Structure 1
């Protein structure tokens, strides 16, 4: 059973920063007001008799999808600014000190503040109109953003794998209690006693444990396989990393460079593994449905030695000038699109309308419009479509839609 956002977050509110929020000449820009009116304060204790209540907080600024987030850990202070004004009603504000994140804030930026279940605060800021803003607004169900806080609607929202991946890209790891399952670790150690297996072996085990209904529910089953493989990977990764941390780094166990190298290797393995898992499960799913296809490789290429992720029916047909173009299909597979989706456009000149399958949790309207104008058909599993703009959902294909299209053209004489 999937976890819910509400298992990790109590409340979230968002607004666009005004000049007053960021200009030191116009106000004390180190205070966050409006939390009472937005309902956020209901989840905070009430400061009494001049009390100042402290909260641990993580502040994050994301300039764009291709930029590394800027992080800062701080302590925020919740207090009544009118404590000494006996004849006036309380005015509660959240104070923060100057820091590398606050120095990047600009008028109009999207500002999201979240209270986590453990009591800590999380603040995420990104330029207005960015893909990150769009994803966060849809994820937390925040609409009608203005210069005043708008409250979120997170009840009932599932913490699907793409959402976990989004938070991980922002440097936020949401622990899943089930991933610490000792029985699962025992199974993994018996199956793979010599360390991390190849990605195809992990994918195979995930399908064994959660077979799903790939013939009748390919969208749901694909996500089920990916979720299970993620759980398997994180369980084994936690075990392997713990062993390494216990041994230490370098001859004396305290070599900083070795530690950094190890940390980077862990991050790189995470990023590459999910992409391999995605392709592994798609390959298995397409084969199960009897589709004719090949994957790009050093021997299987199109123009300019491009290697499409999936080509239907095969590369021989693609290079045959007498094979009907209308029966060719090209599918790129990217867990997240960012700007890399444009690569798919150049991977097969004979195919005008190309396909791209992704599990990215939401894409901005601007980017979706550009994809549509470039004749790129987006394929998105049903469960992920819920965080896409309503006006664009009819333009999306599901996995079952795509499989049906391929079956149809491959059945043509």
Structure 2
């Protein structure tokens, strides 16, 4: 995967720990403090007096579309101050206003404390064993201990983890949008379409045409990642220009500020981001299928008017009861899974197992075990598989393997 920048541009470091009930459960304690976090002195220092620090409290689980977030503060203090016979032990006190987020956690859940480059602490809480936990452990290179104490890691000032597609995905879930240089092809895009967004198919075709050194036939995994990264860079760069022009025009109706107009424009920007990525993913998958000469039907109708993203070899074969079910395949395409992967189970009753291609890194072992039990095979571009744990990687299928399976079935 191509990289654009380093994680250390956004974070000085991070730590992770397992939570005790005394830290987050009001039925056990009303202490309002994270304990076992003394190692975070690496980033917050050792002030003699209590020190208030900016803290963003975040709750993330695998079902939410957006995390719960509160921009507040916390108090960093030495809980043993004045007790000369014992060494210092620093804790982070959280205010009552943070309870709607903090009290969603339970004993055994996970806390991540992350120091941003702007010296704001992110206190991220998530369920134990969740995809969120696995993503953040991978992103920061952390591991959990059994003693409820924070395990920290300082990021090197000259780099750290590359901001590749997997890292961008996770940072995006945290509400962080990594900066990147404008692609060389942006001016060509604007010259051709102007300061407006072309249709998704046109945009994706332009993306593929302006990226050289990509081999969708013999290196489909690398091609898919490269195209998605290139289109993302083109889209975000064009978006900045479009938004800047609209903001320059302003939002006013005579002497009145057009609040509704501004809100409508902002909503359109967010909706375009969400829908475009899914369409781009499907377009690039289709380009790979065409490059390999694979027979398929896109948005194929099966039973109960359900539609499969890609059906192999086609609708006619699927509808023919005499056509062997063993020669049929389907591929659902989702940039992220969350809980939506279960929707795929209702598609194409004749086909088992079903296949789901995603770009989501580090899905939890609990989720992938459930997929296996539901006869759903996860397909993931090879470069993203490093974010998964070793037992999962033995089961995962990459794009090249999926294509080989389809081509083998066509010869039966």
The partner residue of 2:238 within 236, 249, 274 is: 236
SS of the equivalent of 1:134 reads helix
Rounded to whole Å, the distance in 1 between the matches of 2:52 and 2:209 is 48
Rounded to whole Å, the distance in 1 between the matches of 2:28 and 2:396 is 46
Question: Are the structure 2 counterparts of residues 103 and 339 from structure 1 closer, same or farther at C-alpha, using a change threshold of 3 Å?
Answer: closer
Rounded to whole Å, the distance in 2 between the matches of 1:87 and 1:57 is 31
Question: 2:109 touches 2:126 (CA, 8 Å); kept in 1?
Answer: yes
Aligned to 2:91: 93
Rounded to whole Å, the distance in 2 between the matches of 1:4 and 1:328 is 43
Q: List aligned pairs for 1:71-82, cutoff 5 A.
A: 71-82=69-80
Q: CA deviation at 1:87?
A: 6.2
1:3-59 deviation digits (Å, cap 9, x = unpaired): 3333322211111221221256876633334333x3x322334425x3x55533322
Question: 1:380 touches 1:396 (CA, 8 Å); kept in 2?
Answer: yes
Q: List aligned pairs for 1:339-354, cutoff 5 A.
A: 339-354=339-354
1:6 aligns with 2:8: yes
Question: 1:141 touches 1:154 (CA, 8 Å); kept in 2?
Answer: no
Q: List aligned pairs for 1:8-407, cutoff 5 A.
A: 8-23=10-25, 29-36=31-38, 38=39, 40-48=40-48, 50=49, 53-66=51-64, 68-84=66-82, 89-99=87-97, 100-146=100-146, 147-152=148-153, 157-170=161-174, 172-178=175-181, 181=182, 185-211=186-212, 212-251=214-253, 252=255, 254-296=257-299, 300-407=300-407
Question: 2:25 touches 2:103 (CA, 8 Å); kept in 1?
Answer: no
1:331-390 deviation digits (Å, cap 9, x = unpaired): 111111122212222211221221111111122222211211222111111111112221
SS of the equivalent of 1:71 reads strand
SS of the equivalent of 1:101 reads helix
Rounded to whole Å, the distance in 2 between the matches of 1:356 and 1:117 is 37
Question: Are the structure 2 counterparts of residues 185 and 98 from structure 1 closer, same or farther at C-alpha, using a change threshold of 3 Å?
Answer: farther
Rounded to whole Å, the distance in 2 between the matches of 1:405 and 1:153 is 44
For structure 1, which runs of at least 5 residues remain unmatched after alignment?
A: none
SS of the equivalent of 1:309 reads strand
User: Mean alpha-carbon deviation: is it higher for 286-295 or for 403-412?
Assistant: 403-412
Q: CA deviation at 1:194?
A: 4.6
State the number of aligned residues. Answer: 402
Higher relative contact order at CA 8 Å, sep ≥6: structure 1 or structure 2?
2
For structure 2, which runs of at least 5 residues remain unmatched after alignment?
A: none
Q: CA deviation at 1:104?
A: 3.5
Taking only aligned residues, the RMSD between alpha carbons, in angstroms, comes to 2.6
SS of the equivalent of 2:114 reads strand
Question: Are the structure 2 counterparts of residues 23 and 376 from structure 1 closer, same or farther at C-alpha, using a change threshold of 3 Å?
Answer: closer
Rounded to whole Å, the distance in 1 between the matches of 2:87 and 2:345 is 60
Rounded to whole Å, the distance in 2 between the matches of 1:144 and 1:274 is 33
TM-score in terms of structure 2 length: 0.88
1:209-228 deviation digits (Å, cap 9, x = unpaired): 32322222211121111011
Question: 2:180 touches 2:233 (CA, 8 Å); kept in 1?
Answer: no
Rounded to whole Å, the distance in 2 between the matches of 1:27 and 1:347 is 48
Question: Are the structure 2 counterparts of residues 152 and 304 from structure 1 closer, same or farther at C-alpha, using a change threshold of 3 Å?
Answer: farther
Q: CA deviation at 1:238?
A: 1.3
SS of the equivalent of 1:139 reads helix
